[in-house]
Chain A
Amino acid sequence: MGGPAHYVLPVITLGAFLVAGFMRITRSAMLEVMEASS
């Protein structure tokens, strides 16, 4: 393996697949926390 530049595209490829799931979970969890505190 080379330097950090060789990790950019693989990390983007694998990370983009997970962004939607993380965003959905984060949004629902934040709404749940806000509703619980209000």
Chain B
Amino acid sequence: MKLARIKGLSETVVIWKHCLRNALIPVLTLWGVFVGNLITGAIVTETVFAWPGIGRLTYEAVIYRDFPLLQATIILKSIPDPDHQPRRRHPLCLCRSAHPAGLTMAHHERSPSDGTAVPPPRPRCGARSVATPRCRPAAHVPRALGPDRHHLGDRRHGVFAPLLAPYSPIDQTLRDKLLPPIWVDGRQRQVPPGPDAFGRDILSRLIYGARISLLVALLALTAAAASASPSASSRVTSAARSTAC
């Protein structure tokens, strides 16, 4: 700032260009802190504005006593966002599904090994997706490459929800609605947290909800910082001018 004043720049340019740039460092620190608070603490706002975000998922889980969904949302909120790389994904998982919706109501097949009922393959993410010739149908994807490849605690995955969600968040498979999660006896490998009361995949709903919560939180923080910084700068500028006079 001294050099800027020595160069003969005006006080407005000194404050807005040189002083504000150095003063934004603690603002950016606070910005990062508020991101997590907004994502995890927007339960009331998401319920009022009817966003399908994480907070509304938590609210619905409490209201409907959907304990697996409640456990999944709490795990997602409580685990900090680690700076790690996601596991290596199979290239087939990047393809969007070409499954018709009718497959969801198909009869369960019987496993040839133990005779237990195996649920039909659920439609993968993106009900709006259109089959492309280079995409392999999801029925040929091995089940070992299913949704268990995801990290529940990484909220950044919500940005890439259409690519990462194993199933569509709104498709219902009523036959699967009572399937337990993988940590309960009789677990199903395909659905780590299990489906909810309507047969929708909880993991996919969490990923899509994280995307919406993350987007709104980032927009709100950007708007707040963009409106607060010029106001504070103008007040400081006017105070400096009055002091100089």
Q: Residues of A with Cβ closer than 8 Å to B?
A: 1, 7, 9-27, 29-34, 37-38
Contact = CB atoms under 8 A, between A and B. Distances in A.
B227 interface: yes
B216 A14 contact: yes
A34 B240 contact: yes
A1 B216 CA distance: 11
CB-CB nearest 8 A-B residue pairs: A22-B228, A14-B220, A29-B23, A37-B1, A26-B232, A18-B224, A23-B228, A27-B232
Give the dominant DSSP class at A's interface.
helix
A34 B45 contact: no
A10 B27 contact: no
B236 A14 contact: no
Contact of A26 (B24, B212, B216): B24
Interface in B10-47: 15, 19-20, 22-27, 30-31, 34, 38, 42, 45
B66 to A, nearest CB: 22
B231 interface: yes
B23 A22 contact: no
Given A1-B51, A7-B216, A33-B19, A25 B26 contact: yes
B6 to A, nearest CB: 11
Contact of A19 (B2, B15, B228, B236): B228
Interface string B36-66: 0010001001000101100000000000000
A9 B51 CA distance: 12
B90 interface: no
Contacts of A7: 215-216, 219
A34 B244 CA distance: 13
